[in-house]
Amino acid sequence: MMQYITNYTKKRYITYFIITLIIFILPFVRINNNHFFLLDFINKKLNLFFISFDTQELYLMPFMLMLLFIGIFFITTLAGRIWCAWSCPQTIFRVIYRDLIQTKLLKIRKNINNKQKQYPRNFIKKIIAILIFYIISLIAISNFLWYFVPPEIFFSYLANLQEHLLLIGILLCVSLFLTLDVTWWAEKFCIYVCPYARIQSVMFDHNTMQVIYDEKRGGIIYKNKTKLYKKPLQGDCIGCEACVDICPTHIDIRKGMQLECINCLECADACSKVQNKLNRPSLIEWTSIDAMNSKTKIKFLRFKTIGYLIVLLIILALLILVGSKKENMLLNINRNSELYSINQKDGNLEITNAYTFLFQNTDNQAHEYYFEIETDEKLNSDIEILRPKKPFKLEPGAKTKKIIVLKAKNNLNSNTQKDIIVPIIIKAYAVDDNKIFVYRKSIFIYPKKSEK
């Protein structure tokens, strides 16, 4: 007799547990000293998929944002508000506060199957519930902050509170805000504040997965959206209202799709228990309008979803391609055209050009860097490095500014009217790792011959 009982709620709880565990553990996992995701504003560093990028390399961000937004469009078109019910932190926190703390632990609510009933005021217990949730909020917000301040630094900051009052202030205030949101705003946040709730309905089509009451089997309960018949006039719905009592957003799914529905499927579970006793499946299903009408399977592969999938794959491929071209050193060259001179030194002519090199070691290890100059052989130029004479060391993530002086012994320029500009290529490289090098284009100026 148990064959018709759906267990979406249990499956959701298991999903919450797995997601929470992953989100909690992930900041502690490091590969080559890099995190899975870390946007470190203090050290101007981005870690993505255990690869370290400098904030100057944030060219990956547009790809990430495109993936995020098109991913949301894709998932919503395919499976409706699956995010809201199965992974949204707001829903998870509400389950923890309402069902675990208020109902199971403190027994302020008597039954998780009735979320509409107001229970007698129990001021002390309510305060205890809020305090317990505030402690959970502190842990949750700390967990969130670890994606911006890695745990190893976060805990050292906590040990030194007085010097990191800003971080502590953010932690306490955001936790307080979260506590207010979950204990007071509750599902009103989903209904009135969440922007996703507003936009998702425009992405729905007749093949999108939704929570749907089967009017053909259950019977039409509402003459219109507001007028309720006292007794169901037809169909299998017995009017027990178990589906209404359990609904966390206080709606009646038998009215049809509503903005307030977070697709938690608790009503489907409740109805399945009622209908199972009558040896019938739930009147509320997680299906699409077309699938319910035609009693077939949901059509997941369709023009819109395939289109989104193709675009997602293209962006992912571009992200991998661009990410794989990551340079383990950064070099910016600033050159002032006035920075050249002709000198006579020990009877020899010396033409010098000066440059400002901005080096950054974006690798995880310290390296010694130097560079070499490449010119077109046909030009017969004799450019060499005057300064610095030796490689220099840079710690991981460190930046340095170096004045570089290049010199040539022969002036190739016999023209008295204008300077000759020779293109050069600068190859900067790590002396201790032949895989780390960058090429930059620049110029060397041979000044015009003096007419004297």
Cα 83 → chain centroid = 14
Query: Which range of residues in 29-37, 87-95, 253-261, 322-330 is near ligand SF4 by CB under 6 A?
Result: 253-261
Work out which of 6, 9, 175, 263 binds ligand SF4, going by CB under 6 A.
263
Burial class (CB in 10 A: 0-12, 13-18, 19+), 181: middle
Q: How far is the CB of 183 from ligand SF4 (least distance, A)?
A: 19
What count of other Cβ atoms lies within 10 Å of the Cβ of residue 82?
A: 15
With CB under 6 A as the contact rule, the residue among 267, 351, 426, 445 that binds ligand SF4 is: 267
Q: Is 218 in the site for ligand SF4 (CB under 6 A)?
A: yes
Q: Closer to ligand SF4 at the Cβ: 9 or 102? A: 9
**Residue 90 contacts residue 181 (beta carbons within 8 Å):** yes
CB atoms within 10 A of CB 15: 14
Binding to ligand SF4 by residue 253, rule CB under 6 A?
yes
State which of residues 270, 319, 351, 428 lies at the interface with ligand SF4 (CB under 6 A): 270
Environment class of residue 266 by beta-carbon count within 10 Å: exposed (0-12), middle (13-18) or buried (19+)?
buried
* Between 251 and 422, CB nearer to ligand SF4: 251
User: For residue 272, what are the contacts with CB-CB under 8 A and spacing of at least 6?
Assistant: 4, 5, 6, 281, 282, 284
What is the three-class DSSP state of 407?
Answer: strand
* Window contacting ligand SF4 (CB under 6 A); options: 153-161, 250-258, 306-314, 426-434: 250-258
Q: How far apart are CA 240 and CA 221, in angstroms?
A: 12
In this structure, which amino acid lies at residue 378? K
If the CB atoms of residues 288 and 381 are measured against ligand SF4, the closer one turns out to be 288
Choose the binding region for ligand SF4 from 45-53, 240-248, 356-364, 435-443 (rule: CB under 6 A). Answer: 240-248
* Contact predicate 21/14, CB 8 Å: no
Q: Which stretch binds ligand SF4 (CB under 6 A): 263-271, 398-406, 419-427, 440-448?
A: 263-271
| Of 255 and 304, CB closest to ligand SF4 | 255
Q: Could you say whether residue 445 binds ligand SF4 (CB under 6 A)?
A: no
Q: How far is the CB of 274 from ligand SF4 (least distance, A)?
A: 5
Nearer to ligand SF4, 263 or 362 (CB): 263
Angle at 340 between CA 335 and CA 341, to 5 degrees: 170
CB 27 within 8 A of CB 150: yes
Pseudo-torsion of CA 9, 14, 16, 19, nearest 10°? Answer: -150
Contact between 242 and ligand SF4 (CB under 6 A)? yes
Of the candidate residues 88, 92, 209, 237, the single one contacting ligand SF4 (CB under 6 A): 237
Residue 264 interacts with ligand SF4 (CB under 6 A): yes or no: yes
Q: Which of residues 194-213 bind ligand SF4 (CB under 6 A)?
A: 211
Question: Burial level of 390, CB count in 10 A (0-12/13-18/19+)?
Answer: exposed
Q: Which residues bind ligand SF4 (CB under 6 A)?
A: 211, 218, 237-243, 246-249, 251, 253-254, 261-267, 270-271, 274, 283-284
